[in-house]
Amino acid sequence: MPRFSNLDDPDYARFAWRRYWRVMGWMGGVTGLAVVLTLAGLFLLHGTVSIHLYIAAALGVGFTMMLTAALMGLVFLSSGTGHDESIDDALDPDAP
């Protein structure tokens, strides 16, 4: 018999997803700050070089931080809502 997740409740799911997107908004701000600091550091260390260095650094830092935040946010969303416990694990010897 499948167990139900808290995400099956529309009100709780709305609350959980709103919290996830709020965290993503904060991480977008932190990522923006990290990109600006990275570009400033590159400028201080190397001066005026090809614009491609700055574009690649900004995209690399920004994409990496946002992807990490999104995936970790989904892990915490799944774990925090009880969604992980609602799966049927056929390999679990203690499962009914």
Give the model confidence (pLDDT) of 17-74 as tens digits. 999 999 999 999 999 999 999 999 999 999 889 999 999 999 999 999 999 999 999 9
Asked if residue 7 has pLDDT above 90, the reply is no
Locate 44 and state its tokens.
Answer: 């201080």
Nearest CA to 54 among 66, 38, 67? 38
Contact call for residues 65 and 19 (beta carbons, < 8 A): no
Nearest CA to 69 among 33, 36, 20, 35? 20
Q: What is the pLDDT of residue 91?
A: 72
Contact call for residues 57 and 46 (beta carbons, < 8 A): no
Locate 93 and state its tokens.
Answer: 């010897």
Q: How many helices (H) and strands (E) does the chain have?
A: 2, 0
Cut 0.75: pTM above it: yes
